[in-house]
Amino acid sequence: DQQVKQNSPSLSVQEGRISILNCDYTNSMFDYFLWYKKYPAEGPTFLISISSIKDKNEDGRFTVFLNKSAKHLSLHIVPSQPGDSAVYFCAASPNYGGSQGNLIFGKGTKLSVKP
């Protein structure tokens, strides 16, 4: 059973608009969440993270929101740029502050930003 779910396999957005990528999780023990971006034929690259003690974390054009009661997080990209076109993976860990780093990933959402 999937513990991290990204229910939208793809998303298409116009350049300059906001992109909102969603992620749901089932394990209430998860307390650290990350977003990775992946271009074709490359490994994933870290984008932004959030711990469960926060509900928002912002880094430039990227903001992650966490709703613990709903077990839901979202990544907002604004304004979206064509170079943001990639597959975005949500990941979670129950080990914030601990000593184990394995992550549980969703299946990814392919974002296409059209000029």
Q: How far is the CB of 1 from other proteins (least distance, A)?
A: 13
- Secondary structure (3-state) at 103: coil
Counting beta carbons within 10 angstroms of the beta carbon of residue 33, is it exposed (0 to 12), middle (13 to 18) or buried (19 or more)?
Answer: buried
Q: In terms of CB distance, is 45 or 81 closer to other proteins?
A: 45
User: Residue 67 and residue 4: Cα distance in Å, rounded?
Assistant: 14
Residue 37's nearest CA partner among 94, 102, 110 is: 110
Q: 83: which 2 tokens?
A: 């170079």
Residues 24, 25, 35, 44: which binds other proteins (CB under 8 A)? 44
- Candidate ranges 12-20, 54-62, 66-74, 96-104; the one touching other proteins (CB under 8 A): 96-104
Residues 62, 71, 96, 112: which binds other proteins (CB under 8 A)? 96
Q: How far is CA 102 from the centre of its chain?
A: 16
Interacting residues with other proteins between 66 and 95 (CB under 8 A) = 89, 91, 93, 95
- Candidate ranges 11-19, 59-67, 76-84, 101-109; the one touching other proteins (CB under 8 A): 101-109
